Amino acid sequence: MSPITVEVVVPAFNEAERLPRGLDLLCRRLAQLPVHASVLVVDNGSSDGTADIVRAWPAGPVEVRLVHCAKRGKGAAVRAGILSSRAAIVGFCDADMATDPAVLRTFLALLRTHPVVIASRTHPGSDVQARHSRLRSAGAQLFRRFSRTLVPGVGDTQCGFKFFHGDLVRAAARGQRASGFAFDVELLARCARLGGALPLEVPVTWQDVPGSKFSVLRHGLPVLAELVRMWTVLPRPVRPRPARTGAADELAAAPALVRPAA
């Protein structure tokens, strides 16, 4: 995987308000990395100026490309972006940049030895600034219980900041069927079954940003239905492997995590 190239997929549905700031931050962080990087913004049928923002984005050291996805759903958008990618390292993050992309420096160091590295808000080393309602927090706990039947041992499947070896995640995405908010679980499960290993969870600084499209009342039941469908079609869950010797040392030796700029 040398030289390393990186493509970052950003799913976007009516993100005209949040996208400019998020895209600017992402491009600045990527430009600071010692690798060639580009961004794929996937317009998921937006009715605002999301696509126009991407088309008009000024040229710079980090290329920004527009991908269209007519099928609605965050999972469908991420899948379209992954399958449009060509890089050795491919990942995705949300348009709000709740996880500061500066942490990518740490991720790239860990991806040299781990095929899947994901941000985890449940990691004891994470700094999470959330403003979720009690209903959403209760729903998240229920969701985690169900998701662990498909990806045992993974504490946080839903943080929107995940990176993979490109060939592995493209193979996983080709079989992906979930198009809604539960797609992360299927993608991780398929990667585990193809690569034989569960993801490495990394502590991050995560800040809740207003404007989330997820609603417990509107999306709660469809998300649980997606998990049930996954259980019926995916092969037997992969049992978690014991922590590989040295993995904790690798994380400690990786570049220090960077808190979001003010």
pLDDT digits (tens, 9 = 90+) for 63-72: 999 999 999 9
Answer whether residue 247 shows pLDDT above 50. no
Q: Give all strands of the β-sheet with 89-93 in edge-to-edge order.
A: 63-68, 36-43, 5-12, 89-93, 161-165, 116-120, 200-203
Answer whether residue 45 shows pLDDT above 60. yes
Specify the residue for token string 């996983």: 172
Q: What is d(CA 124, CA 33) in angstroms, rounded to the nearest whole number?
A: 27
Q: How confident is the model at residue 147 (pLDDT cuts 50, 70, 90)?
A: confident
Q: Phi, psi (5° rounding) for residue 160? A: -80, 55
Three-state DSSP class for 97? coil
- Contact between 12 and 26 under an 8 Å Cβ cutoff? The reply is no
- pLDDT tens profile 4-33: 699 999 999 999 999 999 999 999 999 999
Q: Residues 124, 239, 157, CA angle at the centre, nearest 5°?
A: 45
Q: How confident is the model at residue 137 (pLDDT cuts 50, 70, 90)?
A: low
The pLDDT score that the predictor gives to residue 224 is 77
- pLDDT tens profile 57-90: 999 999 999 999 999 999 999 999 999 999 999 9
